[in-house]
Structure 1
Amino acid sequence: MAWNEPGGNSNNQDPWGGRRGGDRKGPPDLDEAFRKLQDSLNGLFGSGKKRSGDDRGGRSGGFGLLGIGLALLAVVWLYSAVYVVDEQEQAVVLRFGKYYETVGPGLNFYFPPIDRRFQENVTRERAYSKQGQMLTEDENIVEVPLTVQYKISNLQDFVLNVDQPEVSLQHATESALRHVVGSTEMDQVLTEGRELMASEIKERLQRFLDTYRTGITVTQVNVQSAAAPREVQEAFDDVIRAREDEQRAKNQAEAYANGVVPEARGQAQRIIEDANGYRDEVIARAEGEADRFSKLLAEYRKAPEVTRQRLYLETMQEVFSNTNKVLVTGKEGQSNLLYLPLDKMIDSRGAGSGPAAPAASTSASGSDLGSRVSSDMQQRNLRSRESR
């Protein structure tokens, strides 16, 4: 039953603990309510002294609430003022909006809201990916995807110099990529030029970031496999296949050259060695002939007639040993010549023997005939000299 409904004992009872029509009349006393709340809080915090008088209790209650509020604020401020910097982190502290210090790992303290703190991991490598269609030097469109790996090298510059350093990194990456791709031909972009492109992009990108003083260091730039736009992919595939065929033909030609050139060099060296041998042989023979002539000259000076006769006989023997026809002159005053067909005579005599016999009999008959002819000529010369 509600306290203000008619009937029952509740007609004289109010919700503040008084009775209507009793000791208290009208609304409840607010000072008394605050005093009761203060007493209960003092009991919780160990201050249980009773105040004498309503005015004194109200004033002490107000001061108590203010103290509690200040204590809570102090606890919250102290909790937010103490912070821990990890081993991989650094913190930059600003005091009144101006750079104050850079804090290393450990337990640290600052004064908010006077101070502001920016804490970042400076050892972790971060990555950023970019892909887009770009125009090459020979006016072809290619899609070049790349990944940039970076880390914070200077936290003060990273926090203070640029509003959004990572956005600046993205813009600088796009600028460096377009500049490098725009100065490279399509063949280099699609094939073996990616490593050189990555090196040039990294160098140019780091130069941009240093100029902006972003505090970012680029550790690696990876240019992935570039490709042509899908609309012209088939034509590019044909170009790539043609390039592969060209490279295969070059490899085959180089293999053939590697097999032929050494052989030709070997043959040339052999010809050179043969020529050197022939030269040495001719020189040695000439030197031998010259030495023989010198010795023969000495003998000729001692006995000219005998030496001349011996030279003549040796020459005739050498000539007759290499021919199969002989001409014999008659006596002095006679002009008749006798022709001896020795070749036919030798062939008719050795026709019944084997294949090896004619050659042996020919050489033997030729040498015997030469000896007889030479001896006959010597006798004739002696008789002619005696008759004179």
Structure 2
Amino acid sequence: MQGNLREIDVSSVFRTLAREQRTGELLIETLTGRFWFVFWEGGRILYATSAEGQGNRLRDYLHGTSLLRALEKTTGGNETLEYNGLWAVVRHGHLPPLDARNILQHMVAEVLFDVLPLCEGRFAFESQRGLAPHLAAFDPLGLCREALREVQQWKRLYPTFRHPEQRLLRRTEEDLGAALAGLHLDPTWLDGKTSLRRLARYSQNSLLAIAIALQPLVVAQSVVLLPAGAGQRPRSHKGTVVWVDSSLTVCRTVEYLLGRQGYQVAAVTDPIRALGLVFQVQPHLIVGDGELVGLDGYQLCAMLRQSAQFAKTPFVIATQQEFPAISQRAQAVGATATLRKPFAESDLLAMLDRHLLPTQNGVGRKYRDPNYSHFN
């Protein structure tokens, strides 16, 4: 199931998935490359996230609490998928399931606020097993109604508020406690670095509630708004990667995670298209899914090794299989390394560090991890 948002709106897509009781992942992507994922089980929403959300969003919701330390402890301080991190703090008894459900509902509402107004872009639904374990399941129609109501009210706050990523700076020393009463909003967060969206996460309020409370302070110039993204540095170009994977979700996530680190990434689900991209963009690194149907990563690697142009280009096989079972096969086709799926952001960055960042010896730093196997 896929389509163009000019022809069918997001609300209609949600109604169809709910009516047909679908299970799988819904990708929503804008023309500018922003994208979101909504996970479904039997026509109900289990979880929703944006690529930008991974890594920091859960930490925002746990901001200023001992739970943030618990998250670091349960994940070993490593980057992990947001949903897995939330489940970890619940499983270890640090967070009651009801509180986890409330956080999930805020996360889903945040995504719906962004995607429901979209009128350009595309969507694609992949049927597959639902998320496990289940922390909650939400009625999509009720959440959509509430999100659309908030979107309409948000538009009435224009031009005071233009974007959820606008940042706020407190200009006076006057007590703002009365204005922020009931929102659990610490005035010290108005530091010129924290966006409206992060303020909503910190206090576990809706974006609309935060904006309504702050509007009088902005009008009175007690608080000033800074542009979205103020102070962010431009990214440098570190190298080019072609990635082919059977999952559209993996492709879009990899594009975002590596793109924000300064890599140029072309991630596709079609191995034939990937083969053409390799010759077109001349990548510094190629990653192929070992479980692709038709032309898998092993076959793709073997084909490229026949070309003098790509005989020495690093090629990594991404696979769900155990390393002892596939290392011999990967080496036989000339692969440089294997990467175990599922992987964390830290695994990806360390892999690229190993292959693309030069050192005095001409290669990247050594990387040892149970999810990664290098053959040289």
TM-score surpassing 0.5? Answer: no
TM-score, normalising length: structure 1: 0.16
Please state which structure has a larger fraction of its residues in helix.
Answer: 1
Q: Give me the TM-score of the superposition, normalised by structure 2.
A: 0.16
